[in-house]
Structure 1
């Protein structure tokens, strides 16, 4: 057990220990902590609250190896210890984006929370350092973390105090789900084909296997119960002559795109808080107009995001050819229809800053976010050879965002 030294003001020390998934006390304490911590921009702006549906481990339990730590301070309710901090971590093997067969064992740190009344005491740093000890024990070569680019306290913690370097700047793109379906292609020249998990795995490994952060266990991702399917957008003529993934890989059309859909709705719920009354009224008005005028006019409406809502995540977005962005748009519209049928309120994806398919992803800027991924080399001697020091590698065009960690 690691202990945080007491502050000069005489407050009690804080102990860091492993979260007990079988303890109702731990589960309830973490839930209270999560509810007390607003996730999102500070300063009275919009914030995003995440409800983990009673499973504090839901965002990491699908990874090959994971751990959750809590920090406890004395003086809690009834004189006992109070959970004042939490962090989660998981480990996987991913492609480094520097060519085929270059993989690295990488740790991902997420869900760092510290109670508002216990901040600025070094608790967050102690949780990170204790988690990094476990990462090293498990043989991880690098650790990385994603945070909001505008979250200055979080960026400062990782870059100035914990030794992380700014690494990648992907964007979270979010689109609301309307009351009506969207046509995948207005010109009807693009068709969407669903792939079986084994066919999807082969396509991903052959076409996207060298994309940065591509998971070596992509088969486990695609076969997970939360993965709702993989879809390939191709010209309509190619779809009519579809002869399977082998024929596609042997002679792909000039342009194509692929993506998979992950069901976050059954893992956690989200809620937008802090929106002005005017925004709420405007969103309500769009829904009212949609109900009154659909299906004739199909008004773009804002779903009720001010109460708990579910989300679908589009992952593994990739493709090739001059029309690939239009193919990606068709996949996003198809994912919208899947989400509408399932009762999800938004579809989100995350793309690299230079990804050419980004231009084809429909989204509402006010619903999205600009991320910052920070990375740290955990031990000297790791990652040498053909890879070199990954923390100093220039970004590629694309990035693979693992849905298990979104």
Structure 2
């Protein structure tokens, strides 16, 4: 029997169940020790890119000669958006810097069934998706993978022409059974989407990977709000706080990933499972000690993703820690088991982000490839050769 490989666009009605089966069979996410995270998509397999301006999902299907026995053995998702790739000085005001934008494509969720690997299916999926990227005017394409995933790294760097670009850190914090106590000296303010957009465009528009359509992100139903932390003072004025370098402030936004997918920890030993359970038992028996108990991670659970982290002033790290505590309590109220964020490895506020090293990923590898010869405005050279900045803006739609 001759088997034929066909790569085509995902069709929800006929493909959803078979795609979910491929997802279950493929290990994804950062590994920690002998534990690893598996993704279990909820309902719509394309939901993780549907919130982007332009998106596509392809499946690889094995067919026999009579087309009677079709089997989905691979899939890939991609989206295109406009992001900041650098900055330039204003012609009218040399002190002021302006963002330089580029049209960027992102590859998310390349999966090939374990029984059909090393057959060129992954390469074919990437090439077909890149064809769509080019046809829609993308100047660059990038992807993210675990730095230890050598098969994925080799596919993209050796066969697809990508180069290693950035190594941000994924920081994961369990949601404990008790609430985190926040400082009574810190005032946490929820901004409206329009206020948050104004703040982000004013403070972060020149940050690498900042999405030009930040308003779409902030107004999305999965975005639970943007929160600013400042020290409580009578007659406090936000505009004054943000403009005064001696004042400290911090900001973050919360994205509800629970509505898109769930995770489940696999591969943990019985000893580790017993230890995790023991922390929960001790926390229930002795709640006044507020022990850091590990939530139930061995069944499907949801998470909140923190994005747009930033701040300024001498106490920004402390305020960031309070904001992360606030986000922890919000996740507890909404039934999530993890709070996750991703930041540049050089991020100054990283010291204020609580996380467990065992569940986190110190180096999440981002690889990039250039399609176009020049930027649309011709003001910069090749982004792939640029040095990393202190911060990056991680779009929650792509996490």
Report the TM-score when normalising by structure 1: 0.92
Matching residue of 1:64: 53
Q: For each residue in 1:217-253, what CA deviation from the matched residue of structure 2 results, as whole angstroms up to 9, or x when unmatched?
A: 111101111101101111122xx4234x444444465
Deviation per CA, 1:171-225, whole angstroms, max 9, x where unpaired? 100001111111223xx33221111111111000001111100111111101111
CA distance in 2, matches of 1:196, 1:252: 24
Question: Which of 343, 368, 373 is the aligned partner of 1:380?
Answer: 373
Q: What is aligned with 2:91?
A: none
1:20 and 2:16 aligned: no
Q: Deviations over 1:75-129 (max 9, x none)?
A: 49x9411111100000111111334230111000010000111101111011001
Q: Does structure 2 retain, via aligned residues, the 8 Å contact 1:234–1:253?
A: no
Aligned ranges 1:252-267 → 2 under 5 Å: 254-267=247-260
Partner of 1:225: 221
Return the offset for 1:385: 2.4
* 1:51 matched residue in structure 2: 40
Any unmatched runs of 5+ in structure 2?
Answer: 89-97
- Aligned partners of 1:13, 1:339: CA distance in 2, in Å? 46
For 2:284, the equivalent position in structure 1 comes to 291
**Structure 2 equivalent of residue 7 of structure 1:** none
**CA distance in structure 2 between the partners assigned to 1:250 and 1:365 by the alignment:** 35
Match of 1:319 among 305, 311, 336: 311
Aligned pair partner of 1:145 in 139, 143, 163: 143
Query: Judging changes above 3 Å, is the alpha-carbon distance between structure 1 residues 200 and 253 closer, same or farther for their aligned structure 2 residues?
Result: farther
Q: Partners of 1:97 and 1:323 in 2: how far apart?
A: 28
- How far apart in 2 are the matches of 1:103 and 1:141? 10
Native 8 Å contact 2:86 2:99 kept in 1: no
- Indicate conservation of the 8 Å contact 1:383/1:390, yes or no: no
Other structure's SS at 1:365 match: coil
Cα deviation, 1:149-188, whole Å, max 9, x if unaligned, reads: 1111111111111000100000100001111111223xx3
What is the root-mean-square deviation of aligned Cα atoms in Å? 2.0
Q: 1:200 aligns with which of 185, 192, 196?
A: 196
Question: In the alignment, what sits opposite 2:272?
Answer: 279
Partner residue, 1:3: none
For 1:1-400, what aligned pairs fall within 5 Å after superposition? 12-21=3-12, 23=13, 25-40=14-29, 45-75=34-64, 79-99=68-88, 100-185=98-183, 188-237=184-233, 240-243=234-237, 245-251=238-244, 254-294=247-287, 296-369=288-361, 370-382=363-375, 385-400=378-393
The count of corresponding residues between Structure 1 and Structure 2 is 389
Q: Secondary structure at the match of 1:269?
A: strand
CA distance in 1, matches of 2:197, 2:85: 18
Identify which range, 132-141 or 39-48, moves more after superposition. 39-48
| 3-state SS of 2:38 partner | strand
CA distance 1:177–1:84, change in 2 (3 Å) = same
| Cα deviation, residue 271, structure 1 | 0.2
Q: What is the distance in 1 between the residues matched to 2:258 and 2:374? A: 41
Residues 251 and 381 (structure 1), Cα distance of their counterparts in 2 relative to 1, 3 Å cut: closer
Q: What is the deviation of 1:354?
A: 0.3
Unmatched 5+ stretches in structure 1: 1-9
Indicate conservation of the 8 Å contact 2:245/2:312, yes or no: no
